Amino acid sequence: MAIVSEVRKELTEHIIPFWNRLRDDKNGGFYGFMDHDLHLDKNAEKGVILHSRILWFYSNCYLVLGDPDCLDNARHCYEFMRKYCVDPVNGGVYWLMNADGTVSDSMKHTYCQAFFIYALASYYDASKDDQALKLALEIFETVEKNCTDDVAYLEAMSADWKLIPNDALSENGLMADKTMNTTLHLLEAYTELYRVSSDERVLNRLKFQINIFLDKIWYKPESRLLVFFDRELNVIGDIHSYGHDIEATWLIDRACEVIGDDELTAKVREMNEPIVKKIADIAFENGALNNERENDKISKMHIWWVQAEGVVGFMNGWQKYGEKRYLDISNALWENIKAEIIDKREGGEWYSQILEDGKPDAAKPTVDPWKCPYHNGRMCLEIMKRSL
């Protein structure tokens, strides 16, 4: 398939070189902000989610490509995170650091802990550094101690693990106690942690998370995932996030592959197969994926991560269910990414989002605490691995 050689080239000749240039050899880690006009702010805050995603990215690039420079960049990122981002008193990782590594925002968010675990598991796989795995398991234990209740996972907390409003993961004018998004990325993190550790405690909680999707998050009558919830996992708002749905299908499939439980895999297929079909039917339009539906309004912006996850999700759907249409959609999304999402300016990477008029959103930066090499880099790596 032509897409395989093309994504490899995009990864090795564009995405990796871009992020290489953001390495901060003075203060450690990577620079945290570049605006839409490609102005780099070397004094900007450094997001812990951003750094976790960079660590995951370079670790997996090394695992797939064998490039020692990628392992060196992963180690450089890991050292910054281990030294500065972990709270030595209360445990867990902070939300945001200053450029020099001092704490800017000490919030503890379960979503952020999840990405830190995800990154450390991959870094351990790449480096065989036992301390990285030890730290990942410590953060896992911290999450299970501080971020759970009798129903599911809590989200936003202060530095000393007291509940605070979940501003960071709430959108659309809603204030959610719990979200599909955080549960999904915990599941993603625990999948990797279980894969590299074979720890039974991690396995048990990973199965618990999958069952939250099956029992509470999956809205079977409409073949979609619910997004925002109150403390008891009652849904709030009427939102359908197309990107999260297609991303969730392949990530939960990956969890099932790692677990190897045939009964659980069959239950997940019953959920995922109609979700993939639903997104293909309602969200794929003019070669791209629309963003979401809120009540009766459909957002038709083309967001970088939604397109990237669509490429993987529909490729996975084709491989799982044999529907040629899904392969065609995956390829079409890649063609659209090449045409409108990849920033062809000297020094650019990918645009964050394309507005409904077809123009890049100049208000959205090229790099910030959320804009990272994880979704697009992972898309390239996944397509390469799936072609083997």
| 343, 366 contact by CB (below 8 A) | yes
Residues 6 or more apart from 338 whose CB is under 8 A from it?
6
**Greatest C-alpha distance within the chain:** 54
Q: Is the pLDDT of residue 378 over 90?
A: yes
Containing domain of residue 144, as a range?
2-386
150-178 pLDDT per residue, tens: 999 999 999 999 999 998 888 778 899 99
Confidence of residue 1 (pLDDT cuts 50, 70, 90): confident
Cα distances (Å, whole numbers) of residue 310 to 202, 291, 328, 368: 28, 11, 12, 22
Higher pLDDT, 248 or 174: 248
What mean pLDDT, rounded, does the chain reach? Answer: 97
334-363 pLDDT per residue, tens: 999 999 999 999 999 999 999 999 999 999
* Mean pLDDT for the stretch of residues 227-232: 97
CB atoms under 10 Å from CB of 247, counted, come to 25
CATH of the domain at 175: 1.50.10.10
The pLDDT > 70 percentage for the chain reads 100
Residue in the structure block whose two tokens are 């939960």: 252
* Mean pLDDT for the stretch of residues 7-31: 98
Q: Rounded to the nearest 5°, which phi and psi values hold at 47?
A: -70, 140
The β-bridge partners of 34 are 40, 367
* Number of domains the chain contains: 1
CA dihedral 77, 205, 307, 272 (to 10 degrees): 160
Q: What is the pLDDT of residue 170?
A: 82
Look up residue 388 and give its DSSP letter.
Answer: -
- Tell me the angle at which helices 242-259 and 180-197 cross, rounded to the nearest 10 degrees: 20
Residue type, 337: I
Confidence of residue 25 (pLDDT cuts 50, 70, 90): very high
Confidence of residue 286 (pLDDT cuts 50, 70, 90): very high
| 75, 127 contact by CB (below 8 A) | yes
Q: What is the pLDDT of residue 379?
A: 98
179-189 pLDDT per residue, tens: 999 999 999 99
Cα distances (Å, whole numbers) of residue 136 to 76, 122, 130, 178, 182: 17, 10, 10, 23, 17
* Mean pLDDT for the stretch of residues 95-104: 98
Cα distances (Å, whole numbers) of residue 299 to 105, 228, 243, 276, 302: 31, 18, 12, 19, 9
199-217 pLDDT per residue, tens: 999 999 999 999 999 999 9
Residues 6 or more apart from 357 whose CB is under 8 A from it?
none
CA dihedral 22, 24, 25, 29 (to 10 degrees): -110
The pLDDT > 90 percentage for the chain reads 97
Pairing mode of beta strands 178-179, 228-229: antiparallel
Confidence of residue 306 (pLDDT cuts 50, 70, 90): very high
| 139, 120 contact by CB (below 8 A) | yes
> CA 149 to CA 331: how far, in whole Å?
42
Q: What is the pLDDT of residue 136?
A: 98
* Mean pLDDT for the stretch of residues 78-94: 98
Q: What is the pLDDT of residue 388?
A: 63
